[in-house]
Structure 1
């Protein structure tokens, strides 16, 4: 891919990010220098370009400034076969893998379920498990508000915006167990866009 030109100013103060408060753990971000670097870089793919731009914008750690590439973000979807929900059991709220996960993911079709069968992953094993941690971090389950209703996307937990997550490591207490164990769950991104044919850049 040839170099991409980037024009226009951010609706933000570049000086603020250069002289950021170190106590907040925020490194200095030289927005104009980084945009110049991106603008003069030749990328092997649109994915590489959009990832670089996404990483720059989100390195600002500013909730008012974000970058979403809809040609990737709305076209691919992370489909981890371990949808998580918040449940209260015996008065305690915890995060669990959906107990009926096998019936649920069967609705995704045989291409999806067949992939996991082909690599020997037993989708039934984590069903109903209590999630202790995800990638070593104690887990919480958050929901988004969509059209005035709470919602969540199937399998889209602790995953990146871009579909480049190979697997997710979870510490689970299985439904028939009492001690946590580590389970590596393979990820399979789904393509939601229109059919296309690969071509030279």
Structure 2
């Protein structure tokens, strides 16, 4: 009976999330098979690290799926990683593309990979901020991640550039997330 209750709770939560954002699974964006096994620490993720992919922006599901595959190809073939480095990617089509997801350790930010969700906006955002659809998807993903129990309610939101010597996620994104209540400049 407990398993049925848990399943119903998960299905209910997922149905509530889809009203706010749509999650595109790796099989739906055409992912190559991953070879990862490292889980996040047994505690809830404490950080959300906002990144940009530093590639081409996308505005349709087809374009964003292609760009997500390109990122995965680069991470696996060039960097030698077991999969795409990010937990999730967000396109300007308003969809959330699942990378390693909630439970697997990422490869996005040295020293934080096992205790954070790395969320990358698809594109280069050094001159402009992502559109409203992408921001709405991020807000919904974070809310859902807390609600379903994958993200600590007191998580800290940081820009990749706050903890790494990089320009990612770009100054327009960093300025925007600095206004959010969970933002923490390191």
TM-score (norm 1): 0.25
**Greater C-alpha Rg:** 1
Q: Considering fraction of residues, name the structure with more helix.
A: 2
Higher RCO (CA < 8 A, seq sep 6+): 2
TM-score (norm 2): 0.27
